[in-house]
Structure 1
Amino acid sequence: MSKLWGGRFTKETNKLVEDFTASIEFDKELALEDIQGSIAHVQMLSDCSIISEDDAVTIKHGLKMIEKKIVAGEVEFSVAHEDIHMNIETLLIDEIGPVGGKLHTGRSRNDQVATDMHLYLKKQTQSIITLLTDVQKSILFKSKENVHTILPGYTHLQRAQPVSFAHHLMAYFWMLERDKERLQDSLKRINWSPLGAGALAGTTFPIDREQTASLLGFERVYPNSMDAVSDRDFIVEFLSHASLIMTHISRLSEELVIWSSQEFQFIELDDSFCTGSSIMPQKKNPDVPELLRAKTGRVYGNLVGLLTVLKGLPLAYNKDMQEDKEGMFDTVRTLDGSLRLLAPMIETMTVNQENMFAAVSQDFSNATDIADYLVTKGLPFRQAHEIIGKIVLYAINQDKYLLGLSLEEYQQFSPLFTGDIFEILQPKHVVDARKSEGGTSFEQVKNQLALAEKYI
């Protein structure tokens, strides 16, 4: 089968080369964007009197017929036509005859594919922002139920200070909020139009790039045609933001795995988000958060892969850039699937409030509050810190926790201790005492939830 570009060649393409260089197996995902760009392009060609209005009407009708067939699953794409652009152009010529060949006037596949990817990534970025908001809503829902639920907060995976469970969960809300803001900001750069840049140098035809940009909903055109066809910064930026989103998802997933273990028993994931063992009937495995952790690696890989492709490329377009798409598609699918699972998994999980409270009742996470207590009595913090360290060591040797010591035992270390120390050490008091802005006191957590409502 002769190629649409085959006039200069005397031999058919080697079948191995054809299979190796063809991108239709993955860039067919851009089919609807390709047609969208083509309709705008042909409208502009007509308005600029580059082709006749009748030809433009015929071509647009043909493109819309092909679009309907694609949506209906009635189109089979061919490797022989290499990519989505040549496949659709071939289908168009088959549909409406030779006039379909006028569609490619004043453009190249180089600016065409770049346009397709801008359109695709704009749509997908907006969708991911919506999905992130859905996860935030689930976090907010679960947080509202657990403002007064207390669990150990950790540093170095060692119990540090008790916190509100809502406060802990909301840390992820704000991570995702920053992720959304990064994506929203990236739309400013995704929203550039490369259409009309041609292969690299523009075109001799009197086209109107501003018109096609407007028709496609782009905010501006690339000022430099070489930059327009060779820029993949917007994809790298998306992959970078996606990697950070997956980092946040992975961190939360790690906590869900730990919290649902027999050793912690802080939460139980709903059965619909877990699997069992083929040999151990007692098992309930947190497969979903485990896979969310693992899929982070493939998103990182897609980012590094594209950076590696681009790092040594001279201007303008090179065939290497064909490798820009599969990682982008894979990352979109991975993010989409991960976020769609995460939201209902959080919303349906059971919080074991009693187990969480038992944990903070049998540790030394209230030790800092004794130091703060002595500071309010006039003792310098550094001296208070040393005294409390000795009290903790003493309690460990006595096989007791801080609430289990008597007033007389406390007064062995400092005469500043009085009977109010036992109220100070209660987990609820420890949590509620941290009233600084952004702290874990119940009042501050409620303020945080009210603020979060405004963001979603």
Structure 2
Amino acid sequence: MKKTSTFSGRVNQSPNKILDRLLLTPQFEFEKDKLLPYYKEIELTILDEQRRLHMLNEDEYLNLIKIIDDIDETNLFSDVEANMSDISFAFEEYIYKNSEHAIPKWHIDKSRNDFQATAMRMYGRKKLVEAINLLTSLYEVVIAKVDKYTMVVMPGYTHNQPAQIVSPAFYFVTIGEAIRTTLHRMEFLYRDINACPLGSGAMSGLEFSWDREKMSKSLGFDMPLHTALVSVAERDWLTKISFEFSLFGNKVSRFVTDFMKWSSHENGFIHLPDELVGISSAMPQKKNHTILERIRGGVNHLNSFLTDFMSSSQNTPYTNLVEVNKEGTRYLEDMFNDFSRSIILFKIYIDNMSIDEEKAYNSCTEDFFGGYSLANYLCDEYGIPYREAQKILGKFLSGEKVVTSNSLFTLNSIIEDERGFGPLKEKEFNSFLNPEELLKRKLTSGSTSPESVKEQQRVHIEYLRKYKEFLKDINKSNNYTFVEGGDSDGR
């Protein structure tokens, strides 16, 4: 095996070709594809500091800027003999070859460790902001959906059984609340991870007076990380993002499961345009909401990524194990892609679904949903102890297959047997058969009543307005431009 002439130390041979093929070159290609813009920014930031510290004269500084500006994915190559298939060494090799003369102090006091940690954190920051943009877009669609369905009734379920009257609008503000709390934590998470490792060296700091505060601001960070070892050894930012993705994915899977039930033939509450349904190859009558299956399957992967990232650092020493970290982030791009895809598909579904109001209403009249309200009424208006009122209604319902206005005689007979009088009038009783009246009876904040749902919507709209200001600021400060589908340009 040939010796490597550019890089030395105790190792004087190039890496094994099999290790290069399986490990080094794939890592090189990932970093070139995903991290190259960040490496260039970091290099330029370091140059500014070297000029300030009088390590470089003006000619050297300008020469290096021009060379670094010219680096792109077309002229940076993995070469096991020339640069050990390492992107940092490839940078050095390219700059050495293109410099007009030797620049002795370029890269003095430099380690790959904080460079790689900084580039990865910049990449993770951008992908987190992309996820926040997507969630904010989903949030807008969900909250806008409330307007159409505030007075529409449908069954609400407990234990998979019809239980109380709710509205689809109530369900949409529930999804909105799940998004709001996730966005709230993601804002905190963004601020938490937006701290810069650069200037920490291999693990214990650097030997010249680098201005870490200035460097961190130059790279769009709020501040430098305070401790050198934390800077290069910590990968919590990745686990924290993965946790939030997994947690929200769990919520999405539950919402989707409800939509699967609602869209079934037995319920038929949801209509979806033909362009978004699947068909059967043998049963032409079917319209399958296959997008829901793909969303639920997709978010399930997020749990696996969280476990993978946690396991990669579990029981490892608190030092910078660079190769462990590289192996532990092998599926990083897959995690971001799966999350983005799931959110985009969920948004498409929410945006295009519609509720069959007639079927939803009819389902509310096929069973008696007024038991809870009627028990409260008997207790409050007629002084029947609450638990006794529940027993009376239980006895009444056990003998009625379908409850109609004609059932009032039976109920009054039971009340008369139990209490000695039959208090209910027909108008009173019929109000407990009316789904729309039952919807309005809930008075507490956060309930399904139309007034409460509209108030919840107003809270979400205001939160969304303020949040979009935060999002606008971080997109602008980082020069991010995102387009539908999760692709981006900019830094």
**Under a length normalisation based on structure 2, what TM-score does the superposition of the two structures give?**
0.86
The 1:251/1:27 distance shift into structure 2, 3 A limit, reads farther
**Does structure 1 conserve the Cα–Cα contact (< 8 Å) formed by 2:199 and 2:206?**
yes
Verify: 1:438 aligned to 2:443, yes or no: no
Alignment length, in residue pairs?
Answer: 447
CA–CA distance in structure 2, aligned partners of residues 383 and 4 of structure 1:
89
Counterpart for residue 66 of structure 2: 61
Verify: 1:210 aligned to 2:213, yes or no: yes
- Render the CA deviation track for 1:429-450: whole Å, top value 9, x for unaligned: 1011102111111111111112
CA–CA distance in structure 2, aligned partners of residues 265 and 112 of structure 1:
56
Counterpart for residue 394 of structure 2: 389
The 1:277/1:36 distance shift into structure 2, 3 A limit, reads farther
Please report how far the alpha carbon of residue 164 of structure 1 lies from its aligned counterpart in structure 2 after TM superposition. Answer: 1.2
The 1:76/1:48 distance shift into structure 2, 3 A limit, reads closer
Please report how far the alpha carbon of residue 274 of structure 1 lies from its aligned counterpart in structure 2 after TM superposition. Answer: 2.6
Between the aligned residues of both structures, percent identity stands at 26
Please report how far the alpha carbon of residue 3 of structure 1 lies from its aligned counterpart in structure 2 after TM superposition. Answer: 7.2
Question: In structure 2, the residue corresponding to 1:240 is in which secondary structure?
Answer: helix
- Render the CA deviation track for 1:113-168: whole Å, top value 9, x for unaligned: 11012211222222211211111111112211111111111111111101011001
CA–CA distance in structure 1, aligned partners of residues 102 and 215 of structure 2:
21
Equivalences for residues 350-365 of structure 1 within 5 A = 350-365=354-369
Verify: 1:35 aligned to 2:40, yes or no: yes
**Does structure 1 conserve the Cα–Cα contact (< 8 Å) formed by 2:305 and 2:335?**
yes
CA–CA distance in structure 2, aligned partners of residues 258 and 53 of structure 1:
69
Equivalences for residues 66-85 of structure 1 within 5 A = 66=71, 69-70=72-73, 74=74, 77-78=77-78, 80=80, 81-85=84-88
Amino acid at match of 1:379: I
CA–CA distance in structure 2, aligned partners of residues 96 and 258 of structure 1:
66
Counterpart for residue 19 of structure 1: 21
**Does structure 2 conserve the Cα–Cα contact (< 8 Å) formed by 1:268 and 1:349?**
yes
CA–CA distance in structure 1, aligned partners of residues 206 and 385 of structure 2:
76
Please report how far the alpha carbon of residue 100 of structure 1 lies from its aligned counterpart in structure 2 after TM superposition. Answer: 8.0
Question: In structure 2, the residue corresponding to 1:446 is in which secondary structure?
Answer: helix
Amino acid at match of 2:228: S
* 253-262 or 113-122: bigger deviation: 253-262
**Does structure 2 conserve the Cα–Cα contact (< 8 Å) formed by 1:147 and 1:164?**
yes
**Does structure 1 conserve the Cα–Cα contact (< 8 Å) formed by 2:375 and 2:386?**
yes
CA–CA distance in structure 2, aligned partners of residues 334 and 101 of structure 1:
46
CA–CA distance in structure 2, aligned partners of residues 345 and 101 of structure 1:
59
Superposition RMSD in Å: 2.1
Amino acid at match of 2:55: I
Verify: 1:333 aligned to 2:309, yes or no: no
The 1:31/1:101 distance shift into structure 2, 3 A limit, reads farther
CA–CA distance in structure 2, aligned partners of residues 98 and 242 of structure 1:
49
Question: In structure 1, the residue corresponding to 2:399 is in which secondary structure?
Answer: helix
**Does structure 1 conserve the Cα–Cα contact (< 8 Å) formed by 2:55 and 2:106?**
no
- Render the CA deviation track for 1:360-379: whole Å, top value 9, x for unaligned: 11113222112112112211
**Does structure 2 conserve the Cα–Cα contact (< 8 Å) formed by 1:106 and 1:207?**
no
Amino acid at match of 1:222: L
Please report how far the alpha carbon of residue 386 of structure 1 lies from its aligned counterpart in structure 2 after TM superposition. Answer: 1.0
CA–CA distance in structure 1, aligned partners of residues 9 and 58 of structure 2:
29
Question: In structure 2, the residue corresponding to 1:299 is in which secondary structure?
Answer: helix
Please report how far the alpha carbon of residue 11 of structure 1 lies from its aligned counterpart in structure 2 after TM superposition. Answer: 2.9
Question: In structure 1, the residue corresponding to 2:331 is in which secondary structure?
Answer: helix
**Does structure 2 conserve the Cα–Cα contact (< 8 Å) formed by 1:210 and 1:221?**
yes
Structure 1: unaligned runs, 5 residues or longer: none
CA–CA distance in structure 1, aligned partners of residues 5 and 176 of structure 2:
52
Verify: 1:232 aligned to 2:235, yes or no: yes
CA–CA distance in structure 1, aligned partners of residues 161 and 131 of structure 2:
35
Verify: 1:373 aligned to 2:377, yes or no: yes
CA–CA distance in structure 2, aligned partners of residues 431 and 75 of structure 1:
66
CA–CA distance in structure 1, aligned partners of residues 373 and 107 of structure 2:
73
Counterpart of 2:89 (choices 86, 90, 93) is 86
Counterpart for residue 424 of structure 2: 417
Structure 2: unaligned runs, 5 residues or longer: 416-421, 465-491
The 1:403/1:64 distance shift into structure 2, 3 A limit, reads farther
Counterpart for residue 222 of structure 2: 219
Amino acid at match of 1:403: T
**Does structure 2 conserve the Cα–Cα contact (< 8 Å) formed by 1:164 and 1:440?**
yes
**Under a length normalisation based on structure 1, what TM-score does the superposition of the two structures give?**
0.92
Verify: 1:310 aligned to 2:317, yes or no: no
The 1:309/1:102 distance shift into structure 2, 3 A limit, reads farther
Amino acid at match of 1:416: P
- Render the CA deviation track for 1:22-58: whole Å, top value 9, x for unaligned: 2124333122122222221221122222233322222
Please report how far the alpha carbon of residue 98 of structure 1 lies from its aligned counterpart in structure 2 after TM superposition. Answer: 6.7
